[in-house]
Chains A and B, each alone.
Chain A
Amino acid sequence: MNILETENLVIKRMGIPVVREVNLVASSGEISVLLGANGAGKTTLLEGISGIIPIASGSVELEGNDMVKVSAGKRALAGIAHVEQGRTIFGSMTTEENLKVALHPDASLEEIYELFPELLARKDVQSMMLSGGEQQMVVIGRALVGRPKVVLIDEMSAGLAPVVVNRLMKGVRRLADLGLAVVLVEQFANLALEIGDRAYVMRRGSFVYEGDCATLGNDPDQLHHLYLGDIGEAA
């Protein structure tokens, strides 16, 4: 079931189109992996969907409801969770306070401790004292206790050790298995394609590939070409 759909989405920064005519679908129980080189427009796309920056034209629909004119806060309450890049913890709060701040009445902290058991022992630790991986778990957990329908995750692995990234990827897969729609922007392309279902590759603001993750994961040459385009071919 499609939870989130964008149609001909255009997002501009300082009047310049950074996302051009993008059609993205995120379905319940699936991970849509969004790949692309730096500057391709991935983060801008997520920011447009969650309402951080305005949409120039096109549509964003959550379960069929138009979100274009809805504020970021109301989109969050409607079910769009956005895990921004850069581990945006509330550093002065403990792990548990970070989770409680957005706790939905129907959600419980136990669900998060079950998903990331590492956090249970660290629940009373000030979150700025946590490791990078633990901080990322807190941020993902904090998004989940708001009972979202779709989770947008932006570059969660930046600056983390591969073993930690592996751990986080398993957690993200679990989210989809629990029925959430996940949109995952990731630089660790191979790891993301391993856990993902639907793949999109973005270049210069447009999608240059849409297909299943397994096919793209098994064709590294195509992935290389999709990332770099003509530059890749020349090299």
Chain B
Amino acid sequence: MNSLLTSAVAGLSAGGAYAILGVCVVFTYRLVSVVKFTATALGAIGAFVMVIMTEMGYPLLPSVLVGILVGALASTAVGLITTIWFSGSSQSIKAAVTAALLVCIIAMGQRLTGGQQPRAFPDIVGGAGIQLAGVTITAASLVAIGFAVFLTVAAEQVLNRTRMGLQLRALSERPMAAELLGIPVRRLAIGVWAASGAMTSIALMLVAPLRSPDFGSLSLLVVPAFAAALIGSFKSFRAALVGGILIGVIEGLASVFVGLNQYRAAVPFLVILVVLLWSQRGAQWDEAR
């Protein structure tokens, strides 16, 4: 029983990162209507800039800040491509563009960061964490979950209680109508891309020491991110938060069972499948009637 609890708690750290990534995916989708396949690959760029700088001997804090900035700039660059060259395109075209860019970024990232050789990522949080019911909850888990909760609350508050939030919602619903009202549509959209790039960089810096931290593996964390976002139908920040944490916990639990451990990476795919089937239930029941 205790090993189950320990494993579930161990999954919280990954869960917190999945939650941050899921909230970022929802954030981008809700505000600029793009399913951002590049989300984690762009965050991986920021995370790897951080690790390369620490390897070169720079102090941790400036390396983290530069990594976040580079992640934001990389995301901004992809945002510019979609908002300038594909502004009038459908959601599916924009999603396809980000999927194509994901492949390019992974290929280039692996080439530039030493292929599939894992790098030694520093623990950017440090500290021992806390003991709860005999189980240690690491500081990284607490920070990841705390940051995910903060992002969720901040996103909701900004969208519902500020003028910029109103303008962002206008942008997401009717970009042309928003532009005709003098809302700085392009500037806001680029801001959304930059913010999501910065947030995913932070998430990957938190989760990298716990994973196999090569560029490709970190980039493919887009799968649990999408699974978390899907639980919230790509709309609800809170559901993405809870979904991300749950996926992490289920992954952690799976590690206890010998037969399941090597398949735990499949958990997000199963979650996606279950959520899609669940979302179709209404149509199937209607058809059955």
Contacts and interface: CB of A to CB of B under 8 A. Distances in A.
Given A93-B166, A97-B166, A102 B182 contact: yes
Interface stretch (A72-80, A172-180, A197-205): A72-80
B170 to A, nearest CB: 5
Contacts of A50: 180
A74 B174 CA distance: 17
Contacts of A72: 176, 179-180
Interface residues of A, number: 23
B163 A92 contact: no
A42 interface: no
Interface in B174-202: 174, 176-186
A101 interface: yes
Nearest to B186: A73
A90 B169 contact: yes
A116 B181 CA distance: 20
How would you classify the secondary structure of chain B's contact residues: helix, strand, loop or mixed?
helix
Interface string A71-95: 1111011000110100010111100
A189 to B, nearest CB: 26
B167 interface: yes
Contacts of B182: 73-74, 76-77, 102, 146
A92 B172 CA distance: 10
A87 to B, nearest CB: 10
B174 A52 contact: no
Nearest to A77: B182
B180 A81 contact: yes
A199 B184 CA distance: 34
B173 A92 contact: yes
A92 B235 CA distance: 12
A116 B166 CA distance: 22
B181 A101 contact: yes
A146 B182 CA distance: 8
Contacts of B176: 52, 72, 84, 88
Question: Would you list the 7 A-B pairs with minimal beta carbon distance, nearest first?
Answer: A76-B182, A102-B181, A88-B177, A77-B182, A101-B166, A73-B179, A90-B173
18 contacts: A72-B176, A72-B180, A73-B179, A74-B182, A76-B179, A76-B182, A81-B180, A82-B180, A84-B177, A90-B170, A90-B173, A93-B170, A97-B169, A100-B166, A101-B169, A101-B181, A143-B181, A146-B182
